[in-house]
Amino acid sequence: MKHEILVIDDNFDIRNLISGILKDKNYTVREAANYDQAVFEIDKKLPDLAIIDVKLDKGDKDGIDLLKKIKKITDFTPVIMISGHANVEMAVESLKLGAYEFITKPFAMEQLLNIVSRGLENITLRKENAQLENRSFYSFDFVGESTQIIKIKKLIKKLSSADSRVLIFGPTGSGKELLARKIHKNSQRGKEPFVVINGALLQSNNYETELFGSENSDGSITYGFLEKAKGGTLLIDEVSEIPLDTQAKILRVLMDQKFKRINGKEDVYVNVRIISSTSKDLKNQVLLGNFREDLYHRLNVVPIEIPSLNSRGEDIPLLIKYFQKKISEINGTPEIEINVDDDLLYSYQWPGNVRELRNLVERISILSQNENKSNVGRLLHEILSKNSSESIEESVISTAYPLKQARENFEKNYLLTQLKKNKGNISKTAEFIGMERSALHRKLKSLGIKGIN
């Protein structure tokens, strides 16, 4: 795709020089010599990127006013402000108003080209993120009313005004990336890029290029994840899988707020919020010597632990109803109805957590179009029974156990399922199963079921 850039400067020589350099790099260029010409060009068609001189033709309006105008129309056009009479206040004001970068004259054309390239890549990434937000599971809400989830939601609100590093712990499929996106979206960086690097998927010999980028022999630059996330948030997923020598370099970036690209000589200053996630016990990885203790403490400023779905059974009905509606909207299909009181939903262990539940709802919604409720229920049982390592009957009553042990196994699983359905409420559970509350307490104690109030 050929990008179009609008160059606005009242100095003919500078405007002509910038335009020529950009055209040599195969950009389409439009020019404006003053405020009125610039407004005409902006109203005619928004450019992919604008380069604006702060001081224009000594009129009442200047480059700052044009920056405001563009940002009022869209947040998806990077604006590079340039000035020969710059001061700190002017630069700060420009950046606060949404300028992508502020550079002072005279500047090296290579410097300008690097900023243009990075700005266009940055905005492309933001547009892709916005599209994903609109049509995929990334736009899903963080659903739940269990005690653990309510605490996490409150913490997200507190983090909205902070820029602290966050370390998210949780089993696979529990929603670690979704939580990271919610933290980013609610923060002051919410309109900037959200970039994900998965430590488990990168090739060991390519970590540093992926993170820091490289300066190539032909003069071009390959931007790493840190620069792609400029001004935004970088999620390092499965951070425990990053090699120790690369961990040391990440630690140095966190301390110095700068790095060098591979084969580069100049420092690149970074303004990125780091969120990390892991499905492993990172403290244990430190003890085993697989993870640096100093990096662990740098990343673990605000720890958040997401519980497994199996430990928050009261959220299952809410999640199912939410996914039914959301998947119907995304796929443009009628909303199917799953019986949220089905015992199997609460006795099943959910090894894939919320992701497995979402996939289940989507699969059923596709396979059960125009089916009646009984067929939907039968399909639910078929899928979960197949996913289980053993059927519910086998896990509860096995011929390998004596009758007394088999009965205890059945009672324990049955009562745990009913307690999950009733959100741990003893009175409601006792009423449903036809048992006195005090008798149920004694039964739970005898079966070794603890932690139920």
Residue 9: how many CB atoms within 10 A of its CB?
27
Q: In what order do the strands lie in the sheet with 79-83?
A: 28-32, 4-8, 49-53, 79-83, 101-104
Residues in CB range of 409: below 8 A, 6 or more apart: 396, 397, 398, 401
Domain ranges of the chain: 4-121, 136-307, 310-389, 396-446
- Output the CA torsion 444→446→450→453 (10° steps): 40
From first to last of its 453 residues, the chain has per-residue pLDDT tens of 689 999 999 999 999 999 999 999 999 999 999 999 999 999 888 999 999 999 887 667 889 999 999 998 888 899 999 988 767 788 888 888 889 999 988 888 888 998 999 889 888 877 776 666 555 545 678 899 999 999 999 999 999 888 999 999 999 999 999 999 999 999 999 888 899 998 877 766 778 888 998 988 877 788 889 988 888 999 999 999 898 888 998 999 999 989 999 998 888 888 999 999 999 999 999 999 999 999 999 999 999 999 999 889 899 999 999 999 988 887 788 888 899 888 889 888 898 999 999 999 988 988 887 767 678 888 888 888 776 644 444 444 444 556 566 666 666 766 777 777 776 788 888 777 777 777 777 777 777 776 554
pLDDT at 390: 43
- The span from the CA of 393 to the CA of 415, in Å, is 15
pLDDT at 254: 92
Say yes or no: do domains 4-121 and 136-307 share a fold.
yes
> Helix 353-367 crosses helix 316-331 at what angle (to 10 degrees)?
50
pLDDT at 14: 92
Q: Which of 48, 209, 63, 64 is nearest to 117 (CA)?
A: 48
Q: Which of 338, 341, 394, 387 is nearest to 365 (CA)?
A: 338
How far lies 429's CA from each of 148, 334, 395, in Å? Answer: 22, 34, 22
Domain 4-121 fold: Rossmann fold (3.40.50)
- The span from the CA of 233 to the CA of 124, in Å, is 16
How far lies 305's CA from each of 8, 148, 266, 276, 451, in Å? Answer: 50, 9, 39, 12, 19
- Output the CA torsion 408→414→416→418 (10° steps): -150
What single-letter amino acid sits at 165? R
CATH superfamily of 396-446: Homeodomain-like (1.10.10.60)
Question: Top-level CATH class of 136-307?
Answer: alpha beta
pLDDT at 453: 43
Question: What CATH number does the domain located at 310-389 have?
Answer: 1.10.8.60
Q: Which of 313, 265, 273, 47 is nearest to 161 (CA)?
A: 273
- The span from the CA of 71 to the CA of 25, in Å, is 26
The torsion angles phi and psi of 205, rounded to 5 degrees, stand at: -90, 5
Residue with tokens 């932690």: 451
What tokens appear for 266 in the block? 């100049």
pTM: 0.65
Count of alpha carbons within 13 Å of 155, Cβ hemisphere only? 18
Residue with tokens 């690209």: 261
Q: Which of 394, 344, 400, 334 is nearest to 364 (CA)?
A: 334
- The span from the CA of 141 to the CA of 350, in Å, is 20
